Amino acid sequence: MKFQKQLSQIVNSDDSIADSPDIKIFSYSKDCNHFSRRLQQRAINWDMIRVAIAYGKFQYYAHTQTWTLLDKNLHFTPYERFIDRLRGLRIIANQYPDDDSLRPVTAYWKYDLRR
């Protein structure tokens, strides 16, 4: 099977991801498709984003929340065999107090972690 299909099957059966907050797309007023276009350009799909939020290293940075997938976060998880493909994925999101959902602003690969 291909990587994305295998990842999707594991994500759909993972209880840790089922407990994660709802994700809504953050859209800029001038460019409402910015986030979706960036995901496509960087070969990132929604399953990868859900894995990063559930298992990634969490940090606050400049009033936003970031999650970065590192090797040590994926060891002893169902995603251990995908470490080479998921290493270095970083998600930047905002969480608004009025609702309990996350709004990802961007997602990208941190290439210095991929070496």
Calpha distance 70→83 (Å, rounded): 8
For the segment 40-67, the average pLDDT, to the nearest whole number, is: 91
In the prediction, which pLDDT does 45 show? 92
Q: Where are the domains of the chain?
A: 3-113
- With bands split at pLDDT 50, 70 and 90, how would you rate the model's confidence at 114? low
The continuous run of DSSP H or E covering 15 comes out as: helix 15-18
Calpha distance 11→18 (Å, rounded): 9
Q: Which of 8, 111, 10, 113 is nearest to 71 (CA)?
A: 113
CA-to-CA separations, 8 to 4, 48, 78, 97, 102, in angstroms, rounded: 6, 9, 12, 30, 20
Q: What are phi and psi of 103, to 5 degrees?
A: -125, 95
Calpha distance 75→47 (Å, rounded): 18
For the segment 18-42, the average pLDDT, to the nearest whole number, is: 80
> 28 pLDDT exceeds 70?
no
Topology of domain 3-113, CATH = YaeB-like fold (3.30.2310)
Calpha distance 108→48 (Å, rounded): 11
Which value, to the nearest 10 degrees, does the dihedral of the CA atoms of residues 78, 80, 84, 90 take?
60
More confident of the two residues 9 and 18: 9
